[in-house]
Structure 1
Amino acid sequence: MILVTGGLGFIGSHTVRALLDMGEGCVLVQRRSAAVPSALTGQDVAVERTDITDLAALLGIGDRHKISGIVHLAGSMPWPPGADQPVEATRTALGGLLNIVQAARNWGVSRIGVASTIGIYRGQPVEGALREDLPLSMTSGHLIPTFKKIGELLTGHLSDATGIDIVNYRISGTWGPGDPHGALFFAAPELVRAAAQGTEPELSTLPAPAYAEDALDLCYVKDTGRAIALLQLADRLNHRTYNVGSGRATTNAELITAIKHAVPDARIDLPTGGTGSSDHLDITRLQQDTGFRPAYDTERAVADYLAWLRAGNER
């Protein structure tokens, strides 16, 4: 069975669904719940209520399940930012990652996948495709890419030292059913939600104003989950780091056009004046080693997300 930390979360739940569709059983590790979601009832799924920072409790999972692989999607970083005890919060965050590697070693697991982020490329003057072999800046403007960079360095060392295949997933802007963030990093999920609800989008939480020309590698969460599942189950991987995304930049204008095709009276127009940056992930490695191709273009993703929201789901 594949152990998935954060398996009831946004990307985690879709990764679990993809693994199940590929014939793998899953053990979901969560801190707050031990209940199997109704959508997974009758599937080869178990939920373990365990905090990965508790090594003994984590190792105990291996006494109850035969773990063959690990997908580590839970955040190995102090969260939320601004903790009162930053040193202890950092120790705890990195300790959770180390515990995952220790558990893999104890259980004889040959591959661990670890979530990273497109944000680690920030600070480099690159336009166009972002490749995994690009040099990275030693600075970071946000907590998440800071700890993802640290994590990638640690897992590189630990992979060499333990012989475990530890693979980093540099995940692009992921959106779709179950998105808990809204307009935290980019506008896409809030634009769709506003159209579904017949309201104007609430974009005040973005780090900067949104413009029609703004572009990002947007990957629909069902594609993200499938890509991660393919990386976990591949017979052989030729690299330790893989970009996980759509492989193209999608502008807000393109997204708005797709939304208005489905909801013509949606009040979601954005002003012009953005940078029009075309940064996106090069997913050649992912495609070559797993055969992955995105199944959701912008229009299909919008239609699927709107259907989800209109079915009564809040996000």
Structure 2
Amino acid sequence: MILVVGGAGYIGSHVVKKLLDNGKNVVVLDNLTTGHRKSIDARADFLEGDIGSKKSLDELFLKYDIESVMHFAASSLVGESVKNPAKYYENNVSNTLTLLTKMMEYNVKNFIFSSTAATYGLTEDELITEETTLNPINPYGRSKLMIEQIVQDFHVAYQLNYVILRYFNAAGADPSGIIGENHDPETHLIPLVLKNLLGERESITIFGEDYDTFDGTCIRDYIHVNDLAEAHILSLEALLANRFKSKVYNLGNGNGYSVKEIVDMCERVSSRKANVLIGDRRSGDPSKLVADATIIKKELNWKPVFNLEKIIEHAWNYHSQNQEMIKQ
């Protein structure tokens, strides 16, 4: 049995579906503060609870024969983390420590951790590798890096086997249109543009068009959420097959797309025109962040299969089909 904490959230729900499609038995633990009950695949068992609750974790580990844990239960808004760092250090760091301690108590030694490119902070590297200096610039990124360090210490002291996956920009939706990206508040570019195209937002703002890029707007690496999910499956299989005991991998396409390119593709897929405003730069926004995911491609034979057009096509299908459910 695989325990997925945060399995009602955006990325977690897609991983749960893919695990089940691959014949795995799954139990989800989620407190539903940001996740959605209807996003959890009906084939999975579900317990509403918090990873910081020792009672919930005892109940779970006593009831199920858990062999591996996948962790998606984190607060993840950069701006909020600056305004309320206590929430991020409690939920992301303290609660994860509680989870890991309970895992050791019940002898559960396989752990897949959803980390972030925010651990790198601002960098001048053209492509960000796993060897790029880790220098997070906000409490969110720092909290994720703290967890990574705790996990590595648990590996040395308690033989915890782990894979840390540092995501860049997760995007898109399951091709079925059943699950997709539904945050409240929404902060990600693609769903914000789609909401404007659907008439749910009056406009979309591009923050700065004077960056040192080909069209003046920031360039980011977008990866389909199902490609991310596949990386989790491959990482788990490698751990269970004892191919290694600990790994850190970047997850990205290796291709950067500018903000204007994203808006243009959203317009093309939807056959609608966005109302675009130009705003000032946001503090701390680097001009370009693109992943080098060579290592996971080589070692686990992972390969992203969805290009930008498919990413946005699947996101558009989800948002247009579920407009009333996800309307803010």
Give the TM-score taking structure 2 as reference length.
0.81
Q: In the alignment, which of 293, 317, 322 is matched to residue 307 of structure 1?
A: 317
Q: Which aligned pairs between 1:213-224 and structure 2 lie closer than 5 A?
A: 213-224=217-228
**Conserved in 2, the CA contact under 8 Å of 1:52 and 1:100?**
yes
Instruction: Tell me the SS of whatever aligns to 1:281.
Output: coil
* Change in CA separation of 1:239 and 1:288 when aligned onto 2, cut-off 3 Å: farther
Q: Distance in 2 between matches of 1:103 and 1:90?
A: 19
What's the counterpart of residue 193 of structure 2?
191
Instruction: Tell me the SS of whatever aligns to 1:48.
Output: strand
Instruction: Tell me the SS of whatever aligns to 1:292.
Output: coil
Segments of structure 1 that go 5 or more residues without pairing to the other structure are none
Q: Which amino acid aligns with 2:306?
A: Y
Q: Distance in 2 between matches of 1:311 and 1:233?
A: 34
Moved more, 114-123 or 64-73: 114-123
Q: In the alignment, which of 177, 181, 187 is matched to residue 178 of structure 1?
A: 181
Q: Which amino acid aligns with 2:46?
A: V
Q: Which amino acid aligns with 1:144?
A: Y
Q: Distance in 2 between matches of 1:150 and 1:279?
A: 22
Displacement after TM superposition at 1:195 (Å): 2.1
Displacement after TM superposition at 1:76 (Å): 6.8
Q: In the alignment, which of 151, 165, 172 is matched to residue 169 of structure 1?
A: 165
What's the counterpart of residue 41 of structure 2?
40
What's the counterpart of residue 262 of structure 2?
255
Q: After superposition, what is the alpha-carbon deviation per residue over 1:161-185, rounded to whole angstroms, capped at 9, x for unaligned?
A: 111112211111112322416662x
Instruction: Tell me the SS of whatever aligns to 2:66.
Output: coil
Q: In the alignment, which of 271, 283, 290 is matched to residue 293 of structure 2?
A: 283
Q: Distance in 2 between matches of 1:214 and 1:295?
A: 24
Aligned alpha-carbon RMSD (Å): 3.2
Q: In the alignment, which of 195, 200, 203 is matched to residue 201 of structure 1?
A: 203
What's the counterpart of residue 243 of structure 1?
250
Q: Which amino acid aligns with 2:197?
A: A
Moved more, 173-182 or 264-273: 264-273
**Conserved in 2, the CA contact under 8 Å of 1:76 and 1:96?**
no
**Conserved in 2, the CA contact under 8 Å of 1:116 and 1:171?**
yes
Q: Which amino acid aligns with 1:190?
A: L
**Conserved in 2, the CA contact under 8 Å of 1:77 and 1:90?**
no
Displacement after TM superposition at 1:53 (Å): 1.1
Q: Distance in 1 between matches of 2:141 and 2:39?
A: 34
Q: In the alignment, which of 128, 131, 142 is matched to residue 130 of structure 1?
A: 128
Q: Which amino acid aligns with 2:133?
A: P
What's the counterpart of residue 31 of structure 1?
31
Displacement after TM superposition at 1:279 (Å): 2.4
Instruction: Tell me the SS of whatever aligns to 2:111.
Output: strand
Q: Distance in 2 between matches of 1:110 and 1:261?
A: 47
Q: Distance in 1 between matches of 2:170 and 2:306?
A: 12
Displacement after TM superposition at 1:283 (Å): 0.9
Q: Distance in 1 between matches of 2:98 and 2:75?
A: 11
* Change in CA separation of 1:269 and 1:134 when aligned onto 2, cut-off 3 Å: same
* Change in CA separation of 1:289 and 1:22 when aligned onto 2, cut-off 3 Å: farther
Segments of structure 2 that go 5 or more residues without pairing to the other structure are 173-179
* Change in CA separation of 1:52 and 1:311 when aligned onto 2, cut-off 3 Å: same
Instruction: Tell me the SS of whatever aligns to 2:46.
Output: strand
What's the counterpart of residue 138 of structure 2?
142
Identity across the alignment (%): 19
What's the counterpart of residue 20 of structure 1?
20
**Conserved in 1, the CA contact under 8 Å of 2:8 and 2:28?**
yes
Q: Distance in 1 between matches of 2:257 and 2:170?
A: 12
Q: Which amino acid aligns with 1:197?
A: G
Q: Distance in 2 between matches of 1:218 and 1:306?
A: 15
Instruction: Tell me the SS of whatever aligns to 1:74.
Output: coil
Q: Distance in 1 between matches of 2:9 and 2:39?
A: 14
Instruction: Tell me the SS of whatever aligns to 2:255.
Output: coil
**Conserved in 2, the CA contact under 8 Å of 1:14 and 1:221?**
yes
**Conserved in 1, the CA contact under 8 Å of 2:194 and 2:266?**
yes
